[in-house]
A and B are shown apart, each in its own frame.
Chain A
Amino acid sequence: MKPLTFTLKKLAPSKVDCRRLTPDKLEGLSIKQILEITLNNTFKVIDLFDIIGEDFEQIVFRNSSPQLAYIGHEMSRGSITIEADCGDFLGANMRGGHIICHGNAGDRVGDQMRRGLILIDGNAGDYCGSRMLAGTIGVHGQVGNYTGFGMKRGTILLTKPTNLHATLQDCGAHNLPFLKLLLNAIKPLKSKFSALNSIRVQRYGGDIACSGTGEILVLQ
């Protein structure tokens, strides 16, 4: 079965809310019904996307753009692959499954996510992992400001050092055996993270402004 693929036909005049395009929400619908889904008040799927494929558990966004917001919102299973850039709130309120973004993502990646995995090959915007409850976010490129703002639990895995705000506290450099398990688990997912094998990280804990025990791990 081929993944259900949404190919963006043209740039929209404003942001596009993609929260209804997840394996959970598309379950049981026909292609015709999907084409009639209203995204924002003004657009339907048919206005912006071509659709092919029949595997609703694997969704692909092709020719994507930073206008596409809320991709993977509240998803609990399956996978979403974004072949280029995407917009804000990627994987917000996510509850399971995984999202791979091969381009850059906007602000508030994984906002309030509870479970699941988000891997971004490019950069992420501000407030990456904000108010995260648990789960894992990996950003291979740069992150913006206020990464992990208000995070309670969960892991944000970075490959490059970044400036963090004061309530994420440096816990030092460590070899973490669990990282081997994590990297093994994400190796088959075909992202830039598949090539990583270091288990040595600088560990930052927080966000202590909300008694958080989350962590930001910067690979060394």
Chain B
Amino acid sequence: MLLNGIHIDDTFAEAFNMRGTRVIITAQNHKWAYHAANAMTGFATSVIGCGVEAGIERELSADETPDGRPGVNVLMFAMGSKVLMQQLETRMGQCILTCPTAAAFAGIDSEDQINLGKHLRYFGDGYQTSKLLNGIRYWRIPVMDGEFLVQETTGMVRAIGGGNFLILATSQASALHAAETAIVAMKQVPNVIMPFPGGVVRSGSKVGSKYPSMFASTNDAFCPTLKGLVNTELSDDIESVMEIVIDGLSFDDIAISMKVGIEAICALNKISGEKSGVKRISAGNYGGKLGPHHFKLHEILGGKST
């Protein structure tokens, strides 16, 4: 399949079941809401080493938040509920409690509730107070800048992690520019995050390694500098590959974001007749044996060449 001259592989992205939650972070202004949310979602690129994958979903205006202040939505995903609960409490304690003027509220409804401020309240050393408003409990914890306001719990839902696609381009600069273009478009899609730095990952991995202690290692088939040495997936003109990984609340959310991202890259070829340098879009999978969710590129994109 071809989209504006870019070859779309007949393959699929393989994704996994995760647990997810959303937290609304507010502050005196957007600058400080971002400081808090950036800290909370920092070092949260991959569950392999970080416990959770997290990111800022979108910005909220003052009239969209519970306390009428500017804010952002944070989405956080983990492989299991226990890790998600641990990571949320740790990150709330170190990143939101500590951040000047920040407050935190539940961002998603669910029967499953996990602790947001329930245990953080003990930081108040007995001076913490709670209010039950319309059936929701909030905690007020005295801190040096005034009061830290936090909802007691937030919802936890079933979610999906590991949606992805690969951008194969004739130069590193072209691959990065295409990836950046895709991320700008994908950030407009609700219910998803792209957890890697700037939304983009360059170190795709394969299962296993020559070293017995390593479970995963570099995806040599997609490494351009190894083209002549390994059973490569790359044609002669590909000089750089980048990947975008997506976690979302549902299959459709991820499928829509993949479509939006890939189409944004393919639209680059249309702009003033310039060539994007992107030759191929592919996706990462493990042969379909590990993850229950398969995002088939041709299906997502409607299957018609343009």
How far is A178 from B146 in the complex, measured between Cα atoms in Å? Answer: 11
- A157 and B159 CA atoms in complex are apart in Å by 42
B34: CB under 8 A from chain A? no
Query: Shortest Cβ distance from A206 into chain B, in angstroms?
Result: 13
A181: chain B residues within 8 A (beta carbon): 66-67, 131, 133, 138, 149
Residues of B within 8 Å of A177, CB to CB, are 26, 67, 69, 103, 146-147, 149
**Does B280 make an interface contact (CB < 8 A)?**
no
A residues near B149, Cβ cutoff 8 Å: 177-178, 181
User: Is B140 an interface position by the 8 A CB rule?
Assistant: yes
User: At the interface, yes or no: A174 with Cβ under 8 Å from chain B?
Assistant: yes
Near B by CB (< 8 A), chain A positions 173-192 give: 174-178, 180-182, 184-185
Judge whether B68 and A180 touch: CB under 8 Å. Answer: yes
Q: Which of A115, A174, A180, A213 interacts with B129 by CB under 8 Å?
A: A213
Checking B26, B69, B127, B131 against A136 with a beta-carbon cut-off of 8 angstroms, the contacting residue is B131
Whether A182 pairs with B68 at a CB distance below 8 angstroms is no
Render B110-149 as a binary contact track against A, CB cut-off 8 A, 1 for contact.
0000000000000000110111111000101000001101
Q: Size of chain B's interface in residues, with CB distance under 8 A?
A: 19
**A108 CB within 8 Å of chain B:** no
A201 to B130, CA, bound (A): 18
Range of interface residues on A (Cβ < 8 Å) = 10 to 19
- B132 and A180 form a contact (CB under 8 A): no
B59-92 to A contact mask, C-beta < 8 Å, 1/0: 0000000111100000000000000000000000
Q: Does A19 contact B (CB under 8 A)?
A: no
Closest chain B CB from A104 CB (angstroms): 26
A174 to B101, CA, bound (A): 13
- For A153, A181, A182, the residue with the greatest tally of chain B CB atoms inside 10 Å of its CB is A181
- The answer to whether A153 touches B129 (Cβ under 8 A) is yes
A155: interface (CB < 8 Å) = yes
Q: Nearest CB to that of B148 among chain A residues?
A: A177
The complex places the Cα of A213 from the Cα of B128 at a distance, in Å, of: 9
Interface centre among B26, B67, B103, B131 (most CB of A within 10 A): B131
A115 to B129, CA, bound (A): 13
B146 touches A174 (CB 8 A): yes
A153 proximity list for chain B (CB < 8 A): 129
Once A176-B146, A176-B147, A177-B103 are accepted as A-B contacts, the answer to whether A182 and B133 lie under 8 Å apart by CB is yes
The answer to whether the Cβ of A215 comes within 8 Å of any Cβ in the partner chain is yes
Q: Interface on chain A toward B: helix, strand, loop, or mixed SS?
A: mixed
Residues of B within 8 A of A185 (CB): 133-134
Expressed in whole angstroms, the Cα–Cα distance for A91 and B284 within the complex equals 64
Q: Which residues of B contact A155 (CB under 8 A)?
A: 129, 131
Which residues of chain A come closer than 8 Å to B147, judged between CB atoms? 174, 176-178
Q: Which of A115, A134, A175, A213 contacts B146 (CB 8 A)?
A: A175
Give Cα A60 to B134, complex, Å: 21
Smallest CB separation, B46 vs chain A (Å): 34
Chain B minimum-CB-distance residue to A203:
B147
Q: In the bound complex, how far is the Cα of B127 from the Cα of A178, in angstroms?
A: 15
Chain A residue at minimum C-beta to C-beta distance from B140? A178
Find chain B residues with CB under 8 A from A184 CB. Answer: 66, 68
Residue of A nearest to B105 (CB): A181
- Interfacial chain A residues near B146, Cβ < 8 Å: 174-177
| Interchain nearest-CB distance for B133 vs A (Å) | 4
How far apart sit A174 and B147, CA to CA, in the bound complex (Å)?
A: 9
B105 smallest CB distance to A (angstroms): 9
Name the CB-closest residue of A to B103: A177
A184 to B68, CA, bound (A): 10
Of all chain A residues, which has the CB nearest B139?
A178
Nearest A residue to B132 via CB reads: A115
Interface residues of A in 109-149 (CB under 8 A from B): 115, 134, 136
Residue numbers in A under 8 Å from B66 (CB-CB): 181, 184
Given contacts A213-B129, A215-B129, contact A178 B138 (CB under 8 A): yes
CA distance A67 to B129 in the complex (A): 35
Cα-based distance from A180 to B140 in the complex (angstroms): 13
Across the interface, name the chain A residue whose C-beta is closest to B133.
Answer: A185
Binding site for B on A (CB under 8 A): 115, 134, 136, 153, 155, 174-178, 180-182, 184-185, 213, 215
| Given A178-B67, A185-B134: 18 more A-B contacts, CB < 8 Å | A136-B131, A155-B131, A176-B140, A176-B147, A177-B26, A177-B69, A177-B103, A177-B146, A178-B140, A178-B147, A181-B66, A181-B131, A181-B133, A184-B68, A185-B133, A213-B127, A213-B129, A215-B129
| 21 pairs from A and B in contact (CB 8 Å cutoff) | A115-B132, A134-B130, A153-B129, A155-B129, A155-B131, A174-B146, A175-B146, A176-B146, A177-B26, A177-B67, A177-B146, A177-B147, A177-B149, A178-B131, A180-B68, A181-B133, A182-B133, A184-B68, A213-B126, A213-B129, A215-B129
| 4 A-B pairs closest in CB distance | A185-B133, A180-B67, A180-B68, A177-B67
